Structure 1
Amino acid sequence: MTAMHNIDTLDGKNGFDCYIAEPEGTPEAAIVVIQEIFGVNAGIRRKADKLAEAGYLALAPDLFWQLERGIELDPDIENEMSRALDLMEKFDQDAGIRDIEATIKYARAEFGVGKVGAVGYCLGGRLAYMTAARTDSDATVGYYAVGLDELLDEKDAIANPLMLHIPQEDGFVSKATQEAMHKGLDDHPKVTLHDYPDMDHGFATEFGKRRDKENAAKADERTAEFFAQHLA
């Protein structure tokens, strides 16, 4: 079952929409699905739906609501990609983390789940790292996270397991940034990094030209095993 819910911000002064996919049975755990720069579009909703099919409560909050509510963009359309990049520049990431934290609290309070994790893509991958460092997410996964070399000083705050999927030919993440990620995080006891040779940004998207079926399946299998281990 899927539906749109409204979640209060942490300060209670506003609210934002959240796409929620529920499993057939009673979920024991929930996963927050953190959007790319394209909003809660069909691909992100499909990610949530697949998690619900696997037995999780899945919640995909509209993090761009402070800029414009209900944004849905297609990365394969040039002008929509340009708009998405513009939105990313304007987006307040600290406010986004607060909304993710509100979503985690909502899942626990409204659905009574035992554990709540998070998974994010692109900008959402960066926010997933920040979520691991700044919230009590029980387990977090980031796909093709951007700009993490700027956030490595937050690594000591990561108390629960974090997995990062890194395409080695990522057009948005330089080799130097990837090297800094490994240098800063390889010895962290809570962090696991996986590299994907020859893969570019967005290889695990559900739809569109960026998807690589084989490597998407490999990354998603690792993610499924990670959540099964840490959200049980």
Structure 2
Amino acid sequence: MTTNVTIATLDGQQMPAYEEQPDGAPRAAIVVIQEIFGVNVGIRSKCDALARDGYLAVAPDLFWRMEPGIELDPDVPDQMQRALSIMGQFDQDGGIRDIEAAIRYARAAIDGGKVGAVGYCLGGRLAYMTAARTDVDASVGYYAVGVDGLLGEKHAIAHPMLLHIAGDDGFVDKEAQRRMHDGLDDHPKVTLIDYPGEDHGFATEFGNRRSDAAARQADARTAAFFGEHLG
């Protein structure tokens, strides 16, 4: 069942979110962290798929403090440029606090059960930050940007994390990917998986960026990861 909900933030305000509930009792909850395009049809579709797998899925509107309800299409050039501009204005530290609020909301909704997080692009970076800064039980990042600049936080990652890396990512070059491997390959809680030849956004639900075979492979690995660590 799909609902639009509001989540009490850590500073006492109300953040809008998209929520999809499974047919039966949730096996766990997963916070879905948006790309730079907002909680658009692709992110909502990710929530729907997780609900079909038995999870309560919640996608907080992380841009709500700038402008609630932003939905952009990366295949439309003007909208892509607007998304890049919004990303430059976005307070990522504040975003993590809002994600923490979403984790608390989701955990309360399932009576204290386990909560995971999955993010894409900017959301992949935020998933890494979430793993380091919150008590999330498991996290997944797809083609996360700028993680090589956040390696100083890796010591704080206490729960399992999976990172899907696009081998030909136009936003994460080969050198950045090497630094990610050098910094994280020996981390006992972090697993990195490379997708040679794939570009940024390969696992999007819709549009020109999707690479179907790689997307299905990555999503199957994510499902197995959450099945193992969330139940």
Structure 2 unaligned blocks of 5 or more: none
For the pair 1:231 / 2:230, whether they are aligned, the reply is: yes
For the pair 1:60 / 2:69, whether they are aligned, the reply is: no
Structure-to-structure mapping, 1:20-99, within 5 angstroms? 20-99=19-98
Structure-to-structure mapping, 1:1-232, within 5 angstroms? 1-12=1-12, 14-232=13-231
Which secondary structure state, in structure 1, belongs to the residue aligned with residue 171 of structure 2? coil
Tell whether the 8 Å contact from 1:29 to 1:113 is kept in structure 2 after alignment: no
For 2:176 and 2:170, the matched residues in 1 are separated by 11
Which secondary structure state, in structure 1, belongs to the residue aligned with residue 43 of structure 2? helix
Could you report, residue by residue, the CA deviation over 1:135-188 in whole angstroms, capped at 9, with x for unpaired residues? 011000000000111100000000000000000100000111000000000000
Following superposition, the deviation at residue 108 of structure 1 comes to 1.4
Following superposition, the deviation at residue 113 of structure 1 comes to 4.7
For 2:176 and 2:134, the matched residues in 1 are separated by 24
Tell whether the 8 Å contact from 2:38 to 2:69 is kept in structure 1 after alignment: yes
For 1:183 and 1:65, the matched residues in 2 are separated by 36
Tell whether the 8 Å contact from 2:118 to 2:140 is kept in structure 1 after alignment: yes
Partner amino acid for 2:160? P
Q: Report the TM-score when normalising by structure 1.
A: 0.99
Q: Report the TM-score when normalising by structure 2.
A: 0.99
Partner amino acid for 1:89? G
For 1:80 and 1:17, the matched residues in 2 are separated by 22
Runs of 4+ aligned residues of structure 1 deviating over 6 Å after TM superposition are: none
Partner amino acid for 1:172? F
Tell whether the 8 Å contact from 1:28 to 1:113 is kept in structure 2 after alignment: no
For 1:28 and 1:179, the matched residues in 2 are separated by 36
Which secondary structure state, in structure 1, belongs to the residue aligned with residue 63 of structure 2? helix
For 2:203 and 2:109, the matched residues in 1 are separated by 30
For 1:108 and 1:167, the matched residues in 2 are separated by 31
CA-atom RMSD, angstroms? 0.6
Which secondary structure state, in structure 2, belongs to the residue aligned with residue 65 of structure 1? coil
Following superposition, the deviation at residue 2 of structure 1 comes to 0.5
Which secondary structure state, in structure 2, belongs to the residue aligned with residue 165 of structure 1? strand
Tell whether the 8 Å contact from 2:28 to 2:110 is kept in structure 1 after alignment: no
For 1:208 and 1:166, the matched residues in 2 are separated by 19
Count of residues in correspondence between the two structures: 231
